[in-house]
Amino acid sequence: MSVLGSTGAGPAADQDRRPPRAPDLPRGPHAGPQDAAPSDPALVTQHGVVTVERPRPAADGAARRGVGRAGRVALSLVVPVLVLLAWYVATEVTGTFAPHQLPSPGAVVRAGVELATWENGPTFGTHIQISVQRVLLGFLIGSLAGLGAGALVGLSRLADSLLASTVGAVRAVPSLGWVPLFILWIGINEDSKVLLVAVGAFFPVYTTVASALRHVDPHLVEVGRAYGLRGPALLLRVQLPAATPAVVSGLRLALAQSWLFLVAAELIASSMGLGFLLTDSTNNGRVDRILLSLVTLAVLGKLTDALIGVAEKRLLRRW
């Protein structure tokens, strides 16, 4: 007697143990079973049941992201709208504050319109343009210097020992403390104002870059060196990309610090700019213009911070 016959095994038995074949699905009104393609990725067979998976359109995901983004923007506007409403009620409805203490929102808007059409001096648009120019130039110079110094201190123990304590001490000097020195050393021209803004932008970038580079995963550095990367190539292709989130956070802090230093910078014999408008309005008792300057500084600071946020998303997507 053969072994196959005794065990009941054979081609017929092997065929019985195979999983049931999924039935063919017609693809059109005149298609037969032979027209179905078993390898079609839209057909999924599970326990002998055939289901058809229809791909979700990419527009649905984009629409959901758009709704989510619109919802976040709407939520971010809730607090400013409530503050504006409380401001209006306290000044126009209840009269809690006198006009010389807290002007109404309408009075601030009228002050802006008056400055926009001012004929006896710089207009409101000119003040904004000059301040934005000073902040961007100072931010660029200070950020590049902070990036270089932070990379040097973060990567070199010798530079850390030589520079870290000194830079930390200089960082404690108030912004107004630099004003008389810059007047003596540079003069009352535009360079002194831009340099003071650059000082404000330098320290946040320096601190975050140095700290982030000290904590880069050493395994990443070893992999980069294994591929022959050394010096600036290793820094640009391995270490800075690994520290990108911290570097961007330092840039955002530096930009906010630049706007803070702007007011001090425009104390240096300035005749234009939002900082000058703020101090000049204080001397003249124009509280409406003071509030206009503060609100404009806040809006410009938020807009420039949002631009860095967009750049951050692109950098993180790339690296």
Question: What CATH number does the domain containing 218 carry?
Answer: 1.10.3720.10
Looking at 34, 68, 97, which one is the last position of a domain?
Answer: 97
Average pLDDT of the segment spanning 150-155: 89
Q: Please provide the size of the chain in residues.
A: 319
Any domain includes 8 = no
**Domain limits for position 42:** 17-55
Any domain includes 7 = no
Q: What's the N-to-C CA distance of the chain in angstroms? A: 71
Any domain includes 22 = yes
Cα separation, 52 vs 40, whole angstroms: 10
Same domain for 144 and 223?
yes
Overall pTM > 0.75:
no
pLDDT at 261 over 60: yes
Both tokens of 309, joined, read 């946020």
Same domain for 41 and 65?
no
Any domain includes 2 = no
Both tokens of 289, joined, read 């213009």
Same domain for 21 and 69?
no
The phi, psi pair for 165, rounded to 5°, reads: -70, -40
Number of domains in the chain: 3
Same domain for 192 and 274?
yes
pLDDT at 263 over 50: yes
pLDDT the model gives residue 134: 94
Same domain for 207 and 141?
yes
Same domain for 286 and 139?
yes
pLDDT at 39 over 50: no
Same domain for 293 and 159?
yes
Same domain for 217 and 313?
yes
Any domain includes 152 = yes
Same domain for 27 and 71?
no
Q: Going by DSSP bridges, is the β-strand pair 49-52/43-46 parallel, antiparallel, or unpaired?
A: antiparallel
Same domain for 194 and 216?
yes
Any domain includes 4 = no
Average pLDDT of the segment spanning 283-306: 92
Same domain for 140 and 255?
yes
Any domain includes 311 = yes
- pLDDT above 90 as % of the chain: 36
Any domain includes 211 = yes
Q: What is the DSSP letter of 260?
A: H
